[in-house]
C-alpha cells in the first residue's frame, strides 16, 4: 500500500509540475506576445544606404552585375557582431538598377555552405530565369540568368527561394532591392541616396548576439522580432536635406505586417505599389504592408524638425501572436536647417492597369489555409495551373482560415478587381504582385500572361509569410502556348537533377 501511495503521490507531483510549467509557459507567452518599442528606440545610427551595384555593359548592350552570396558578421547593435549572410558583403545586398528595354545578366556565386537560389521578386521574365526552387545554386556553384527588362519603372527586390528554406535564408540577411526605370518622366524625388531612398524593413529577434529564428509556440506565421532594422541598421536616423523625400519601402520581414504611419500622424503621398507608380498619388497617414509588398511614399519634411516612422497595430486583427498588437519605432527623419527645393507631387503618375474590361480566358480559385493551398501542399513535381500565353485570367484568392496570409505570384503583375467584397482601395489601384488577404475574405485579381511560355518550367504562387511558404502554402503554374501539353518538370535536388514527369493537378480541392 505504501509503495502504491508513493507512486500516486509521485505521479501527482509530476502532473502538477507539468501543468504548472505549461501554464507558466502560456502565461509567459502571452506576456511576451505584445511588443511596444515606441519611445524606446534611440535612433543613434545613420541609416545605411545600400550601394548601387556596379555593372558593365558589353558591346551587345547586356548590362552585367555580379552578386556573391557570402557569410560574415555584422554589427547589429548587440555588443558583438552577429553572424549573418549577405550579397557582396556580410548583410543584405547592393541595389541593382536597370532601365526598361535593357538586357541584364547577373552572375551569382554561392559562397555560403547551403544550396540557395536568387529570385527576382516582381520581375516579368522567363520561368527558367526566375530563381525559384527550380533553379538551385549549390555551394560553390554559379548561376547567370539573363533577361530583358520589359515592365514599368518599379521598386522590386531579390531574395533566395530555396525549397523549404526561404525563411532561414532571408532571415540571415540575403535580400536586396532591384529598381527599374523607364521613359515615363515623372516629377518625383529621384536622386538615389539624396532624396530617394531604399527602405528595407525587417524585424529581428536575437538570442544574445545571434539571430534567433525560432518562432514561439503560438507564432503560427513565423518569427516576429522586437528589433526593427532598416537596410540592416538598428535604431536608424536619416538626415533629410530636401523638402520632400521618396522612401521606397520594402517589407522584407519574414512574417510581420506593418501599418506605417508617423508619430505626429502627418499625411504623406503613396505614389507607387509593387509593380510601379499608381495612377494618382494617394494621400494618407497610414499604410498596411505585408511581407514582400512594396510602396513608394513621398514625405514632406520641414527644416529642423524630427519625425518618427512607426508601425501601429493593423486594425481589425487582434491576434497578439501575429504581431497585430505591436507598436514599433522604425526610423527617425531629421530635417536639416535648410532644405533644397523638391518638386510638388504630380496629380497623375502613370497609366492605370487596364485589364478590367479584358476577355477572361480562365477563372481560377485558389484558397489558402493552414499550410497548403486547395491543390495540396507544395510539390515540385506537380503543376497546379496551366495558363495560356497571351490570355487574361481571373484568380479568386481566398484566405480560408483564421490566419494571416498574403498572396504573391511570380512573373506577372496583377490588377485588383475586388478586395474583400468591395472595390479596391486607392492604394491598390496600381499593379501589384503581393497582396494581403484579410481572414475569411477573397480578392479578385486579374493578370495577363505574356512573352514567355515554357510548359516544363513552372513559376510559383504562394503566401509570402515565409514560414507558411516553407511549410507548403505554395503552388506552381506554367504558361503554355495554346494547346501545348505540360512537359516533364525538371525537379532539382541537392545532389543533382532528377527528372520526373509532371503531374497536372485537376485544380479541385483535395
Ligand atoms: Cu518574394 Cu516567391 O517570392
Ligand atoms: Cu500565410
User: Which atom of ligand 1 lies nearest, measured to the CA of 462?
Assistant: 2
Q: What pLDDT band is residue 325 in, cutting at 50, 70 and 90?
A: confident
Which residues, in sequence order, are CB contacts of 464 under 8 Å at separation 6+? 290, 291, 292, 293, 406, 407, 408, 434
- Is 163 near ligand 1, meaning CB less than 6 Å away? no
pLDDT of 307 higher than 90 = yes
CA 206 → CA 164, 209, 226, 256, distances in Å? 22, 6, 9, 16
Whether 25 has a pLDDT exceeding 80, the answer reads no
pLDDT digits (tens, 9 = 90+) for 235-292: 999 999 999 999 999 999 999 999 999 999 999 999 999 999 999 999 999 999 999 9
Q: Write the CB contacts of 74 (distance below 8 Å, at least 6 apart in sequence).
A: 81, 82, 84, 86, 90, 91, 173, 232
Residues in the chain: 510
Segment 87-102, tens digit of pLDDT: 999 999 999 999 999 9
Whether pLDDT at 108 is above 50:
yes
Provide the pLDDT for residue 503. Answer: 52
Residue 32 is predicted with a pLDDT of 54
**Angle 152-154-158 (CA atoms, 0-180°, nearest 5)?**
125
Q: Given this model, what pLDDT does residue 324 score?
A: 73
Would you place residue 19 in the very low, low, confident or very high pLDDT band (cuts 50, 70, 90)?
low
The answer to whether residues 190 and 299 touch, using CB atoms and an 8 Å cutoff, is no
- Whether 394 has a pLDDT exceeding 50, the answer reads yes
Ordered DSSP codes for 193-241: TTTEEEEEEEEE-EETTEE-----TT-TT----SEEEETTEESEEEEEE
Residue 122 CA, closest ligand 1 atom number: 1
Q: What is the pLDDT of residue 237?
A: 98
Is the CB of 448 within 6 Å of ligand 1?
no
User: What is the average per-residue pLDDT within 113-135?
Assistant: 98
The reply to whether ligand 1 has any atom less than 6 angstroms from the CB of 462 is yes
Contact indicator for 459, 476 with CB cutoff of 8 Å: yes
DSSP structure class, residue 116: B
> What pLDDT digit, counting tens, does each position of 142-162 carry?
999 999 999 999 999 999 999
Say if ligand 1 is within 6 A of residue 460 CB: yes
What are phi and psi for residue 287, nearest 5 degrees?
A: -150, 130
**What pLDDT is attached to residue 13?**
66
**Interval 43-59: pLDDT, tens:** 999 999 999 999 999 99
The H or E element spanning position 448 is strand 442-449
Q: How many CB atoms lie within 10 A of CB 1?
A: 5
- 337 alpha carbon to ligand 2 midpoint, in Å? 45
pLDDT for 141 equals: 98
Confidence of residue 316 (pLDDT cuts 50, 70, 90): low
pLDDT at 34: 80
How confident is the model over 443-469, as pLDDT tens digits? 999 999 999 999 999 999 999 999 999
Model confidence over 158-192: pLDDT tens digits?
Answer: 999 999 999 999 999 999 999 999 999 899 999 99
Distance from residue 321's CA to the centre of ligand 2 (Å): 14
Q: Which residue has the higher pLDDT, 34 or 505?
A: 34
Mean pLDDT across 383-395: 97
Which ligand has the nearest atom to the CA of 370? 2
Cβ of 493: how many Cβ atoms within 10 Å? 11
CA distance 247 to 236: 14
| Cα dihedral 108→111→117→120 (10° resolution) | -40
pLDDT over threshold 50, residue 338: yes
Assess contact for 391 and 449: CB atoms under 8 A: yes
Ligand 1 site, residue 156, Cβ cutoff 6 A: no
User: To which residue does cell 524606446 refer?
Assistant: 40
The pTM of the full predicted model, rounded to 2 decimals, is: 0.91
Mean local confidence (pLDDT), 473-480: 98
| CB 294 less than 6 A from any atom of ligand 1 | no
pLDDT-based confidence at residue 510 (cuts at 50, 70, 90):
very low
**What band does 486 get if pLDDT is binned at 50, 70 and 90?**
confident
Confidence of residue 506 (pLDDT cuts 50, 70, 90): very low
- What pLDDT sits at residue 499? 41
pLDDT of 509 over the 50 cut: no
Q: Residue 292 CA: which ligand 1 atom is closest? A: 1
| pLDDT band for position 495 (cuts 50, 70, 90) | very low
> Mean pLDDT over all residues of the chain?
91
Band (pLDDT 50/70/90 cuts) for residue 217 is low
pLDDT of residue 179: 98
* Beta-carbon neighbours within 5 Å of ion ligand 2: 405, 463, 465, 468
Sign of CA dihedral 441, 252, 331, 41: positive
Whether the predicted pLDDT of 501 surpasses 70 = no
Q: Is pLDDT larger for residue 25 or for residue 261?
A: 261
Radius of gyration of the chain (CA): 23
* 206 neighbors 257 (Cβ within 8 angstroms): no
In this predicted structure, the answer to whether residue 355 has a pLDDT above a threshold of 50 is: yes
Task: Give the start-end residues of each E strand in 286-409.
Answer: 287-289, 294-300, 306-311, 328-340, 360-369, 372-373, 382-383, 385-388, 391-399, 405-409
pLDDT value at 30 more than 70? no
The dihedral region occupied by 226, where left means phi > 0, alpha psi between -120 and 50, and beta the remainder, is alpha
Position with higher pLDDT, 349 vs 321: 349
**If you take atom 3 of ligand 1, which residue's CA is the nearest one?**
121
The 8-class DSSP code of residue 128 comes to G
Amino acid at each position: 500500500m505504501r509503495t502504491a501511495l508513493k507512486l500516486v503521490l509521485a505521479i501527482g507531483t509530476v502532473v502538477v509540475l507539468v501543468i504548472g510549467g505549461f501554464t507558466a509557459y502560456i502565461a509567459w507567452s502571452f506576456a511576451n506576445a505584445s511588443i511596444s518599442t515606441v519611445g524606446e528606440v534611440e535612433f543613434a545610427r545613420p541609416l545605411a544606404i545600400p550601394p548601387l551595384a556596379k555593372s558593365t555593359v558589353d558591346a551587345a548592350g547586356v548590362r552585367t552585375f555580379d552578386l556573391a552570396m557570402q557569410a560574415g558578421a555584422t554589427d547589429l547593435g548587440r555588443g558583438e557582431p552577429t553572424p549573418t549572410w549577405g550579397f557582396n558583403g556580410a548583410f543584405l545586398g547592393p541595389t541593382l538598377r536597370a532601365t526598361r528595354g535593357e538586357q541584364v545578366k547577373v552572375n551569382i556565386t554561392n559562397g555560403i555552405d547551403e544550396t540557395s537560389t536568387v529570385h527576382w521578386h516582381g520581375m516579368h521574365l522567363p520561368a527558367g530565369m526566375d530563381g525559384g526552387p527550380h533553379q538551385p545554386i549549390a555551394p560553390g556553384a554559379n548561376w547567370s540568368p539573363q533577361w530583358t527588362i520589359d515592365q514599368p519603372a518599379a521598386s522590386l527586390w531579390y531574395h533566395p527561394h530555396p525549397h523549404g528554406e526561404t525563411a532561414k535564408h532571408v532571415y540571415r540577411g540575403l535580400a536586396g532591392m532591384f529598381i527599374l526605370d523607364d521613359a515615363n518622366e515623372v516629377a518625383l524625388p529621384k536622386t538615389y541616396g539624396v532624396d530617394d531612398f531604399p527602405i528595407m524593413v525587417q524585424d529581428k529577434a536575437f538570442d544574445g548576439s545571434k539571430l534567433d529564428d525560432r518562432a514561439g509556440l503560438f507564432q503560427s506565421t513565423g518569427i516576429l522580432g522586437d528589433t526593427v532594422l532598416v537596410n540592416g541598421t538598428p535604431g536608424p536616423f536619416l538626415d533629410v536635406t530636401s523638402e520632400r523625400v521618396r522612401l521606397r519601402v520594402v517589407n522584407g520581414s519574414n512574417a510581420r505586417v506593418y501599418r506605417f504611419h508617423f508619430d505626429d500622424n502627418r499625411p504623406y503621398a503613396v505614389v507607387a505599389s509593387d509593380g510601379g507608380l499608381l495612377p494618382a498619388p494617394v494621400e494618407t497617414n497610414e499604410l498596411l504592408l505585408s511581407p514582400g509588398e512594396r510602396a513608394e511614399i513621398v514625405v514632406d519634411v520641414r527644416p529642423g524638425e524630427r519625425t518618427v516612422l512607426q508601425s501601429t497595430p493593423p486594425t481589425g486583427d487582434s491576434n497578439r501572436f501575429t504581431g497585430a498588437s505591436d507598436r514599433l519605432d522604425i526610423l527617425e527623419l531629421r530635417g536639416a536647417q535648410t532644405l533644397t527645393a523638391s518638386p510638388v507631387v504630380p496629380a497623375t503618375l502613370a497609366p492605370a492597369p487596364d485589364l478590367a474590361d479584358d476577355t477572361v480566358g480562365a477563372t481560377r480559385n485558389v484558397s489558402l489555409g493552414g499550410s497548403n493551398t486547395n491543390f495540396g501542399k507544395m510539390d515540385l513535381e506537380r503543376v497546379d495551373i496551366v495558363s495560356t500565353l497571351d490570355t487574361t485570367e481571373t484568380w479568386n484568392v481566398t484566405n480560408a482560415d483564421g490566419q494571416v496570409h498574403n498572396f504573391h505570384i511570380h512573373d506577372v503583375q496583377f490588377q485588383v478587381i475586388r478586395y474583400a467584397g468591395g472595390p479596391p482601395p486607392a492604394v491598390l489601384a496600381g499593379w501589384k504582385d503581393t497582396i494581403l488577404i484579410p481572414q475569411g475574405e477573397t480578392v479578385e485579381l486579374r493578370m495577363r500572361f505574356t512573352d514567355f511560355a515554357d510548359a516544363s518550367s513552372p513559376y510559383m504562387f504562394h503566401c509570402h509569410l515565409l514560414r507558411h511558404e516553407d511549410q507548403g502554402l505554395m503552388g506552381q503554374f506554367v504558361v503554355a502556348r495554346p494547346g501545348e501539353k505540360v512537359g516533364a518538370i525538371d525537379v532539382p535536388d541537392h545532389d543533382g537533377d532528377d527528372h520526373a514527369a509532371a503531374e497536372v493537378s485537376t485544380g479541385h480541392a483535395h
